[in-house]
Amino acid sequence: MPELPEVEITRRGIEPFVLGRTITGVAVRNPNLRWRVPRNLARLVVGEQVQRVARRGKYLLLECASGCLILHLGMSGSLRVIDPRIPALAHDHVDLLFGETALRLRDPRRFGALLWQRGDVHRHRLLAGLGVEPLSEDFSGDYLYAATRKRQSGIKQLLMNANVVVGVGNIYANESLFRAGIHPRRRAGRLTRAQCERLVQSVREILRAALAAGGSSLRDFVHSDGASGYFQQSYCVYDRAGQPCRVCGSAIRVARLGARSSFFCAGCQK
């Protein structure tokens, strides 16, 4: 699934093409995404001008005068800036038209979303309960320490809990825990304040490095111009089971935690 770096890179990529532009049309080829695309989407958005292109967690927000388009890339989605005359392929489900330019949502597994919210978008049920942004000042060692108290779950599961902190999915949780030297199974409530400070710093460093590298291009993710990211070349643990640790040389291990694969080095992470 595209995580915070991939969604932020998409936001930056589409912003110059849609900010201040008016939506001139909508083409919905398959409305059956994770949540059905509104039947009257064209009536709702055609004529609206995009006033701001924002991101909240893994959600892209195209804010207009009377409401906001909420986009989610799901497990396999990408959002491309494209000439609308280019024929759509099998998984190209929706085009948002801006005159001679279109945003084309491609989503092979159809776990993405395209929704409309009138008024304050942050009251939408998908956004209202979200936690802090990991690159904001609100995500601090003190915040994480307070959030982990009396938690029985492993720290990796808590780090991926969007009600605590948003946008940190499986890839970057694995990499951040490795950098912080913390085992993914470590009970969250047993982390010390110093470990929480170190983990917060590691999350920030990993996310910033991923942004600088254009994100991770695994399976379907590409930038809005079709280019690929290359942070996957820098992974220390993710998807490297059996390979030597880049620090101590021990074999990277993999285990199932919360129905997700967790990669770690037993020598470096305690």
- Asked whether residue 59 falls in the same domain as residue 147, the answer is no
Residue 130 lies in a domain: no
- Asked whether residue 74 falls in the same domain as residue 157, the answer is no
- Asked whether residue 16 falls in the same domain as residue 118, the answer is yes
Arithmetic mean of pLDDT over the chain: 94
Residue 239 lies in a domain: yes
Domain count, the chain: 2
**What's residue 2's pLDDT?**
84
d(CA 171, CA 262): 9
The answer to whether 270 is a known catalytic residue is: no
The answer to whether 48 is a known catalytic residue is: no
The answer to whether 244 is a known catalytic residue is: no
**Structural domain of residue 196, as residue ranges?**
141-264
The answer to whether 134 is a known catalytic residue is: no
Structural contact between residues 49 and 98, judged by C-beta atoms closer than 8 angstroms: no
**52-56, strands of its sheet edge to edge:** 52-56, 59-63, 67-72, 113-118
Structure tokens at 171: 């890839």
Residue 221 lies in a domain: yes
**What's residue 220's pLDDT?**
52
Residue 40 lies in a domain: yes
Per the listing, tokens 């009138």 go with 118
- Asked whether residue 172 falls in the same domain as residue 256, the answer is yes
- Tens-digit pLDDT profile for residues 143-177: 999 999 999 999 999 999 999 999 999 999 999 99
**101-106, strands of its sheet edge to edge:** 25-28, 92-98, 101-106, 78-82
Final residue in a domain of this structure, among 123, 151, 185:
123
Set 11, 58, 106, 240: catalytic member: 58
- Asked whether residue 202 falls in the same domain as residue 252, the answer is yes
- Asked whether residue 182 falls in the same domain as residue 230, the answer is yes
Q: pTM of the prediction?
A: 0.91
Residue 38 lies in a domain: yes
Rounded average pLDDT over 86-108: 97
- Tens-digit pLDDT profile for residues 80-90: 999 999 999 99
- Asked whether residue 116 falls in the same domain as residue 229, the answer is no
